[in-house]
Amino acid sequence: MNGLNGISAQALSDTIGAIYDCALDPQRWSDAIRRIVELCESTAGGLCVHDLRNVEDVHLFEIGYTKEFSQLVQKHYQQSPFATASIVHEVGNVLTLATICPDEELFESRFYHDVLKPYGIFDYIGLNALRTSGRVASVHASRTVSAPRYGQREISIFNLLSPHICRTLAISDALDIRTLNSEMLEATLDALVAGVYLVARDGRVVYMNAAAERQIRTSNALRIVGNRLLPTDPETRDALLQAIDDIATDEVKICAGHSIAIPGAECAGYVSTLLRLDRGARQSLMAPFAASVAVFMQEPAQVPVMPGEAFAKLYRLTSGELRVLLALAQGLGGKEAADMLGISEPTIRTHLQNIFSKTGTSRQADVLRLLQSATAPASSLVL
């Protein structure tokens, strides 16, 4: 059976299965990244965590890169277009190098001449897959100059993989552990802050960890009726039951959302994320519970919008414009900002004029004062 432009449905299914195996065993990301790279006919790829507070880039799992290249990327990360992409692009959206940074600006930059060009890196495709208050996790693939640039075929593949990658990293973040040990599985689950509900294929709850039991006792958003997990909100109840059935039947099915909000009274409630358990490496790990689906319930994270992120969204600044603005906000002059970002002073001036036009200001001091006083203008700006 052929799928998207010659990609077999089996290869796509196997890749998605490998991605979900990483939820309970993050060390399996090496295999998942390899499969993603092969599926997109790429040269290399990786899972990176971007520290937004310290503007650092940590490569956790990657294939196809030399150690020297990875160290060089981390050293010059602040000058790269990827640093701003971590701030301004929404979780789950597929990006290529052309959408992050225009060619003329990229080829002028020091990051291109000092990092990408010497190692022959020609194009990039990826997505921000998880965002917290201080970091962003991304998954990507890249190509060298010997390969064509990424087109609609590869973008479509990443769009298919995106919800599964995002869901897997959301679960890993909820667990906040490197691996699960099956011999101590129950004790490990009970130590988690997130509520974990393991359910059979017919929806029966076969196990709840300690946090889940507390949620049932103290929350007005959830209850157990007939040994089944039911939100008190009728519409959400139907959505959760349907999601459990969909996941238990076919985890490859593309779901409308990565998570389901479980509302309670006065806006209190949880966010649920689901994982199928009865296939791949997850099957042997969870075998003692005879469960088909895991439902993870977390209190919604109160993630503050970073000033740069809110400001960029409010005034529709491009990634390049925001990079210049954040550099100037550090007290750098035009020449120092150009040196740090690896671009020319005329490019700095062009970006600054665009920023003035978009923000209704005419002086650098005014726009920096506007940035300093900016707060999230609306909840819709929160990713």
Q: For 65-116, write each residue's pLDDT tens digit.
A: 999 999 999 888 878 888 888 877 888 999 999 888 888 888 888 899 999 9
Query: What pTM does this model have?
Result: 0.77
The answer to whether 79 and 121 are in contact (CB under 8 A) is no
Do the two domains 4-175 and 307-381 of this chain adopt the same fold? Answer: no
What's the mean pLDDT in 307-329?
A: 82
Residue 39 CA to residue 258 CA, distance in Å, equals: 22
Write down the CATH number for the domain with range 307-381.
1.10.10.10
DSSP conformation letters of 22-53: HHH-GGGHHHHHHHHHHHTT-SEEEEEEEETT
Which pLDDT tens digit goes with each residue over 10-47?
Answer: 888 899 999 999 988 888 999 999 999 999 999 999 99
The residue behind tokens 């506007």 is: 370
Which pLDDT tens digit goes with each residue over 145-162?
Answer: 888 999 999 999 999 999
Task: Retrieve residue 237's tokens.
Answer: 């109840």
Give the chain's end-to-end CA distance (angstroms, integer): 37
4-175: CATH topology: Beta-Lactamase (3.30.450)
The answer to whether 221 and 237 are in contact (CB under 8 A) is no
Residue 3 CA to residue 353 CA, distance in Å, equals: 47
182-298: CATH topology: Beta-Lactamase (3.30.450)
DSSP tag of 8: B
Q: What are the residue boundaries of the structural domains of the chain, listed by start? A: 4-175, 182-298, 307-381
Q: Is the model's pLDDT at 223 over the cut of 70?
A: yes
Residue 34 CA to residue 15 CA, distance in Å, equals: 9
